[in-house]
C-alpha cells in the first residue's frame, strides 16, 4: 500500500485553557504542565460530516482522483453525526462515490487499524483506491463537568487515499480489554422492557495514570516490534509520529527510546487529543509544510480505549506539494512535570 493523497480539516472554533477556567476548577498552568495542551479546536454544531468530507476532498485532490475512482471508504471514528447512517456513508454521498463504505471503531488507534484493513483489501486485489479517514468529535462525548478528562480532547479529521504499492513496511495491532481504564457507557434509551443500568452514562471516564502507563509501555513495545520487522532501529527512522494524547506521553516515549526530539513532532498544544484523527492530522501538517520527502521512513504509534494500540512503518513516496503551508510550531518545549511510569 502507498499513500497517494492526504488532507485534513479542523473546526474553526478555538477553545483556550483560559476559556475553560471560566467554568471549571482548573488553570492554564495545570493543563499545560501536565498535558502540554494550550488550546483545542471544538465543533460548534454537529459538523463532523462536513469536517471529514473536507479532509477527504483534500486527500482526493492531492491524489489526483475523484470520488468515482474509489473502491472503498473506511472511516475510523468513535461516533459520527448519526449512529446510522455511518459517517463513511455520508462521506460517500458527499463525494459522489458509489463504492462500499464502512466505519471502523478502534478509538485513538482507529486510523492505524483502518490502514491495516485498507492494505489487506488492496493486497488481496479486492480494491485499488481506498479512502481512509480518521474523524472524531470527542468533545461531544466528553463530560464538561469533569476537569480530569474534558480538558484533554479536541475535534478534527484527517484523510489519506491508499493505493497499491510497497510503502507500508510493517504494521502491528493489539487489543487488551480493560473496562475501567478508559470508557464511556452507551445511553440506555427508553426501552420500557429494560431495567435501569447500574451506572448512569456520564461521558468519558478515565483512570488517567493507568492509561498513561499503558500508552508509554505499549507504544515503546509496538515501535520496537515494527522497527524489528523492517530491520531499521527506531532511532534511525526519519520521523516518529505518536498519537497526540498528552505531551508527557510523547516525552516519556521519546526519552526512553532516546529519540532525536527533531524526529518527534507534535501539535498537541494546538489541537488536544483528537483520537483517530490525530495521526493523519499530524502527518498532513508535515506534508503540507514540505517536511516529508520520498524515501523517508515514518514510524507511527497510537493507543487508546479498549485498550487497543497500533503501530506501523511507512516509506513515504510522495513529493512535497507544490504549494507549501508555513510550518506551525511542531516542536514545542517539553512539559515540566514528568511522572514515573
Q: Distance between CA 32 and CA 26 in Å, rounded?
A: 11
Site for ligand COA in 21-80 (CB under 6 A): 26, 30-31, 34-35
For ligand COA, which is the closer residue by CB, 48 or 151? 151
The CB-of-66 to ligand COA minimum distance in angstroms stands at 34
Positive or negative torsion for Cα 19, 25, 27, 30: negative
Assigned C-alpha cell, 266:
507534535
Non-local CB neighbours of 183 within 8 Å, separated by 6+ positions: 204, 205, 206, 305
Largest CA distance in the chain: 60
Residue 183 touching ligand COA (CB under 6 A) = no
Binding region for ligand COA (CB under 6 A) out of 1-9, 156-164, 186-194, 202-210: 202-210
Place of cell 484523527: 277
Nearest-CA neighbor of 162 among 293, 314, 9?
314
What is the distance, to the nearest Å, from the Cα of residue 229 to the centroid of all Cα atoms in its chain?
Answer: 23
Q: SS3 of 220, please? A: helix
Decide if 336 is catalytic.
no
- Min CB(208)–ligand COA separation in Å: 3
Stretch in the footprint of ligand COA (CB under 6 A) among 80-88, 121-129, 211-219, 326-334:
211-219
Asked if 105 is an active-site residue, the reply is no
Asked if 208 interacts with ligand COA (CB under 6 A), we say: yes
Which of the residues 89, 108, 150, 312 is marked catalytic? Answer: 108
In this complex, which beta carbon is closest to ligand COA, that of residue 212 or of residue 287?
212
Tell the smallest beta-carbon distance from residue 269 to ligand COA (Å): 14
The yes or no reply on residue 108 touching ligand COA (CB under 6 A) is yes
181 vs 227, which CB is nearer to ligand COA?
181
From 89, 267, 273, 312, active-site residue: 273
Q: How far is the CB of 188 from ligand COA (least distance, A)?
A: 25
E strand or H helix at 219: helix 208-230
336 sits near ligand COA (criterion: CB under 6 A): no
Cβ proximity to ligand COA, 148 vs 330, nearer residue: 148
Of 89, 129, 243, 269, catalytic: 243
Interface characters, 109-128, with ligand COA (x: CB under 6 A): --------------------
- Is-catalytic flag, 273? yes
Residue 89 or 249 with smaller CB distance to ligand COA: 249
**Residue closest to ligand COA, measured at CB:** 208
Euclidean distance between CA atoms 247 and 189, whole angstroms: 37
Cα gap 207→188, rounded to integer Å: 23
Q: Rounded to an integer, what distance in angstroms lies between the CA atom of residue 52 and that of residue 157?
A: 5
Give min distance, CB of 231 to ligand COA, in A.
29
CB-count burial class (<10 Å; 0-12, 13-18, 19+) for 321: middle
Within residues 264-323, the interface with ligand COA by CB under 6 A covers: 273, 303-304
CB of 111 to ligand COA, least distance (A): 12
- Nearest alpha carbon to residue 275 among 308, 297, 323: 308
Q: Does 138 bind ligand COA (CB under 6 A)?
A: no
Rounded Cα–Cα distance for residues 85 and 78 (Å): 14
> H or E element: which one contains 138?
none
Angle, helices 247-256 vs 28-35, to 10°: value is 30
Phi, psi of 250 (to 5 degrees): -60, -45
Q: Which active-site residues does the annotation give?
A: 108, 243, 273
Interacting residues with ligand COA (CB under 6 A) = 26, 30-31, 34-35, 108, 147-148, 151-152, 206, 208-209, 211-212, 215, 245-246, 249, 273, 303-304, 339
Amino acid at each position: 500500500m502507498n499513500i497517494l493523497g492526504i488532507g485534513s480539516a479542523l473546526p474553526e472554533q478555538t477553545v483556550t485553557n483560559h476559556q475553560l477556567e471560566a467554568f471549571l476548577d482548573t488553570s492554564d498552568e495545570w493543563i499545560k504542565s501536565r498535558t502540554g495542551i494550550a488550546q483545542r479546536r471544538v465543533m460548534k454544531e454537529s459538523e463532523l460530516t462536513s469536517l471529514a468530507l473536507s479532509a477527504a476532498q483534500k486527500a482526493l485532490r492531492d491524489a489526483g482522483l475523484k470520488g468515482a475512482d474509489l473502491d472503498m471508504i473506511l472511516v475510523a471514528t468513535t461516533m459520527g453525526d448519526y449512529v446510522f447512517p455511518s459517517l463513511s456513508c455520508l462521506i460517500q454521498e458527499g463525494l459522489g462515490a458509489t463504492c462500499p463504505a464502512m466505519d471502523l471503531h478502534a478509538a485513538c488507534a482507529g486510523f492505524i487499524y483502518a490502514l491495516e484493513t485498507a492494505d489487506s483489501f488492496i493486497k488481496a486485489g479486492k480494491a485499488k483506491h481506498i479512502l481512509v479517514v480518521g474523524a472524531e468529535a470527542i468533545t461531544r462525548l466528553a463530560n464538561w463537568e469533569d476537569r480530569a478528562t474534558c480538558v484533554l480532547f479536541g475535534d478534527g479529521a484527517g484523510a489519506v487515499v491508499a493505493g497499491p504499492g510497497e510503502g507500508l513496511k510493517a504494521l502491528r495491532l493489539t487489543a487488551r480489554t480493560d473496562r475501567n481504564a478508559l470508557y464511556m457507557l452507551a445511553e440506555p434509551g427508553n426501552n420500557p422492557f429494560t431495567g435501569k443500568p447500574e451506572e448512569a452514562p456520564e461521558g468519558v471516564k478515565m483512570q488517567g495514570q493507568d492509561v498513561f502507563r499503558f500508552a508509554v509501555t505499549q507504544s515503546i513495545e509496538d515501535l520496537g516490534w515494527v522497527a524489528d520487522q523492517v530491520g531499521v532501529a527506531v532511532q534511525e527512522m526519519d520521523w516518529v509520529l505518536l498519537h497526540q494524547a498528552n505531551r508527557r506521553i510523547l516525552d516519556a516515549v521519546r526519552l526512553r527510546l532516546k529519540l532525536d526530539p527533531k524526529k518527534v513532532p507534535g501539535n498537541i498544544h494546538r489541537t488536544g487529543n483528537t483520537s483517530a484523527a490525530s495521526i493523519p492530522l499530524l502527518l498532513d501538517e508535515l506534508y503540507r509544510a514540505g517536511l516529508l520527502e520520498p524515501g523517508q521512513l515514518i514510524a507511527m504509534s497510537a493507543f487508546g480505549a479498549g485498550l487497543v494500540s497500533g503501530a506501523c512503518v511507512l516509506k513515504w513516496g510522495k513529493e512535497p506539494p507544490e504549494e507549501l503551508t508555513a510550518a506551525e510550531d511542531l516542536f514545542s518545549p517539553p512539559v515540566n512535570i514528568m511522572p514515573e511510569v
